[in-house]
Amino acid sequence: MTGERNRELGRWGEDVAGRRLTDAGMTVVDRNWRCEAGEVDLVLRDGDVLVFCEVKTRSSAAYGHPLEAVGAVKAQRLRRLAARWLEAHDLRPVGVRIDVVGVLLRDRGAPEVEHVRGIG
């Protein structure tokens, strides 16, 4: 898969995840926020909680389920990025949560979307 195709797939997966989370009552606050330490895919508000969400999208399960791509090291990096985002925006929310959404394309029909709350 080419780099451009991967980027398109990733953007599509972020769109799918964003719709799923807003349908669940969350509000998108920021998207694809970057700093020198990395990128946060989605920042959302879930009531009083600010949610930093990593989205992993795969076109097949040949290399494993998308959620398998987020382990302890990635979760730690997401916590650091969340702290940087909060500092950059001078916010102190009531609560902060790190979530992951895995989006897996299916041969037919709607993609499989799995949302895991509070990974770290």
Which residues fall within 8 angstroms of residue 78, CB to CB, at 6 or more apart?
Answer: 40, 52, 54, 98, 119, 120
Per the CB < 8 A criterion, the answer to whether 43 and 50 are in contact is: yes
Question: Alpha carbon of 43 to those of 5, 14, 89: distances in Å?
Answer: 24, 11, 12
Q: What percent of the chain has pLDDT over 70?
A: 98
In tens, the pLDDT along 50-89 reads: 999 999 999 888 888 898 888 889 999 999 999 999 999 9
> Domains plus CATH for the chain?
3-116 (3.40.1350.10)
Q: How far apart are CA 40 and CA 32, in angstroms?
A: 5
Instruction: Give strand pairing partners of 117.
Output: none
* Predicted TM-score of the model (pTM): 0.91
